[in-house]
Amino acid sequence: MSIKRIGVLTSGGDAPGMNACVRSVVRTALYHGIECYGIRRGWNGLITGDIIRLDEKNVSHTINRGGTILYTARSKEFMTVEGQQKAVSTCKFLGLDGIIAIGGDGTFRGAQALSRHGINVIGIPGTIDNDISCTNYCIGFDTAANTAIECIDKLRDTMQSHERCSVVEVMGRNAGYLAMYVGLAVGATAVLVPEEPIDFERDVIEKIRQARFNGFTHYMIVVAEGAGSAAGIAAQIKDAIDLDPRVTVLGHIQRGGVPSGRDRVNATKMGYLAVELLRAGKNNRIVCTHDGNFTDVDIEEGLNMTKSIQQMEVDVLAAMTGI
């Protein structure tokens, strides 16, 4: 199949490195003489025809920019058969030979629906949550983790000065990958993630006690948003041991900022591979990483995979927190 014209979009939550990926898709396409069009505001843009032509100038100096120059949005209309048919009509009207969609699970389910209508799609994982089951790495995770680590390091300075307990909530939806990684990096007293059963006395209170017995007078508790609210955890701590923790919810600050070198390079490789897959006639795939290698998997297969916190991370955390 000869590929002459493709579209690229970003959907769902934005992630640092998305612009680097869009840039890579555009430059790779142009390198092979393929026209590239940016679909703005995710799947909704494909329904409404919110599309612009992309060239070297459009994506110049975007590799270092956070957010997404194509904007992003969630589309309830695209979840309906009627909305999908409108999107298919746009693809056919514009003569798009394929769509490259950058985002998370929701984005891939949209791509899966579009593929069932005969449209060639390639998905690229872009989410700070790192919760795409078919890949070890998602664009944006590294930058978000570094942002959270920097914030918590600064927070620790004041917590130590005042001999306080701090409860920090990090993003991740229903996944604890970001919280676990950040908790290990900052040397947290305790880390709570939704994948691991929580015994509050053992996993929080006793760890605070042990830290105090070891001479520490400040404590850092990292909580994944899917494991409970920081305010709720702080209230439980106060009730249990009459300690008055300070609560910090990092929130959407983790989504922003200049993408790290790792996110820029991996996003560039993934964008390149997505175009090469379309050129090779491999459609309806998700670009992913496995054991350090960049590869791809069928969308249907990828969405049916499962993923969990690495047992080594759980074991290391137990050793580092002394329980």
Task: Report, as residue numbers or ranges, the catalytic residues.
Answer: 129
Which amino acid appears at position 114 of this protein?
L
CA distance linking residue 203 with residue 119, whole number of Å:
49
- Tokens 């300070």 belong to residue: 246
As a whole number of angstroms, the distance between CA 86 and CA 96 comes to: 14
* Token couple for 235: 């209230």
Burial 222-257 (b: 16+ CB within 10 A, else e): bbbbbbbebeebbebbeeeeeeebebbbbeeebbeb
- Dump the DSSP string for 194-223: TTS---HIIIIIHHHHHHHHTT---EEEEE
The torsion angle over the Cα atoms of residues 56, 62, 64 and 70, rounded to 10 degrees, is: -140
What is the rounded distance in angstroms from the CA atom of residue 65 to the CA atom of residue 33?
26
Determine the Cα–Cα distance for residues 226 and 172; give it in Å rounded to an integer: 7
Helix (H) or strand (E) holding 98: strand 98-103
The DSSP call for residue 181 is H
**Length of the chain, in residues:** 323
Q: Which residues pair with 51 in a beta bridge?
A: 39
Residues in a beta bridge with 272: none
